[in-house]
Structures are given as C-alpha cells and as structure tokens.
Amino acid sequence: MNSGAVMKQDSRTVKRREMLAGAKATLPLIIGAIPFGIIFGTLAGPSGLSVWGALAMSVVVYAGSSQFIALGLMAAGAAIPVIIATTFVVNLRHILYAANLVPKVAHLPHRWRVMMAFGLTDETFAAVSNRFMLQQNTDYAHWFYLGSWVAMYGNWILCTGLGIALGKTFPDMTDWGLDFAMSVTFIGMVVPYLKNKPMWGAVIVSGAIAMATIGMPHKLGLIVAALCGIATGLSLHLLLKHEPAKAVVDD
C-alpha cells in the first residue's frame, strides 16, 4: 500500500472517529430533548397540523422552540406573517452562535458552511463549543459537528413521529410535565461554561432580564436578555483585563 493510500485511510479513520465523538458528546443533550420532541408530536394534531405536516416541519424547520411557538400561533388562528415574524425573532439567538463559530469554520467550503448553518441548534453548539475549547486543532472538527447534527436531527424527527403516534393513544401526555426535561438540558449546557466572573455575570443578568421581560410580545424579551447578558459579560471581561495593567501603573 503506497503512502497516498495510507494517508487516505488514516483520514477516513479520523473523520469517522470525529463523527462518533460528536454523536457521543451530544447524547446527554439528546436524552433531555426526547420528551420535548414527543410533546411536539402530540400537540401537532390538536393544533391543526396533519401527520405529514408535523413531520415536514421537523424535517425542514428543525427548531424546537420555533415549532412550538408556531403551533400555538396556528391554534390561535394567527396570520402567516405573524407566525413567520415571531419564529424569526425567536431564532435570532442563532446569530450569536454563528458569530462565535465563524472564525473556526471560515476555511471550510461553502457547502459545508450551508450544512452547518442548517444543523445549528443549542445542543450542537454546546457540544461543538466544548470540542473547540478542549482541542485547538480544527482540521476535522466539522466532522465532529456533522456527527452531533446527524444524531440530534435524527432524534428530533424520530421523537416527532413517536409523539404523533403516542398522542392518539395517550391524549393527555402534555399534562405529564415532561417539558421540564428541556429546562434541565439547557441548564446542563450552560453550567460547564461558567468558569469565570464574566460568564457568571452574563448568565445572571440575562436570566434576570429574561424573567423581567417575559411579557414582551413575540418573545422579544429573549433578544433583550441576550444583548444585556453579552454587554455584561463583555464589560466584566474588559474591566478584569485592565485591572492588572492598572495595578502595574500604580506600583
């Protein structure tokens, strides 16, 4: 076997290993998302979506929060422009995720970046961010991303189908309190990253603002909370960064 063939085989091994690692890193978050997906499936019928419509929404939209909001608006008889505008605002948080990942994926071909943009969810972002924190080498990190995305995407579609099927058998599943699992999942995604004062400040402020602005229309409070959290974290980071320099000048 020549050196070129060996290198190609090694490359395939690394890609496969990265994909498996991505899926494995996302598994704990998938477990938390399972009840969320099932509940969406159970709510689809009563909200006016057909079986195929619900499955198509999970396949094409692939955004849990937006899908739930869309169902609620559909059930309330909201106009299509209102549904689109509301889900657009809710998904604006993904711009923040994308801004964080852009420097790490700028070297990839356009087809990869398009795929990654579609597969960008809270869970995949958390798993991939941890991968970038632990390993500086990004040559095959997009395969890690692909593994995370495929695992999460397949789980979401499967759970939607399960929810549709189970919803007919257990019509009161939405009263079981399964939605608490998603809150626990988000807490699990955030806590490992709270390693310094700016991070804690960002989380505390954004959480407080989110609670204070919960009554804002179209979920705009989420955007306000995110911006306030970012401003707080950045301000604390700059203050702490300049403290050593100030101490040196004072000495």
**pLDDT string in tens for the chain (251-residue length):** 444 544 455 788 899 999 999 999 999 888 878 888 888 888 888 888 888 999 999 999 998 888 888 888 888 888 889 888 888 887 887 888 888 899 888 889 999 999 999 999 988 998 898 888 777 777 889 999 999 999 999 999 999 999 888 877 766 665 666 556 666 666 766 777 677 888 899 999 999 999 999 888 867 788 889 889 989 998 998 888 776 655 545 55
Structure tokens at 210: 């989110």
Query: Residue 162: helix, strand or coil by DSSP?
Result: helix
Rounded-to-integer distance, Cα 92 and Cα 185, Å: 20
- Written as one letter, the residue type at 31 is I
Cβ atoms 57, 49 nearer than 8 A: yes
- The token pair at 67 is 């899908």
Close Cβ partners of 201 (under 8 Å, ≥ 6 residues apart): 232, 233, 235, 236
- The verdict on pTM exceeding 0.85 is no
User: What's at 227, amino acid-wise?
Assistant: L
| Structure token pair of residue 123 | 């869970």
Distance of alpha carbon 26 from alpha carbon 22, whole angstroms? 6
Burial-class residue 238 by CB neighbours within 10 Å (0-12, 13-18, 19+). Answer: exposed
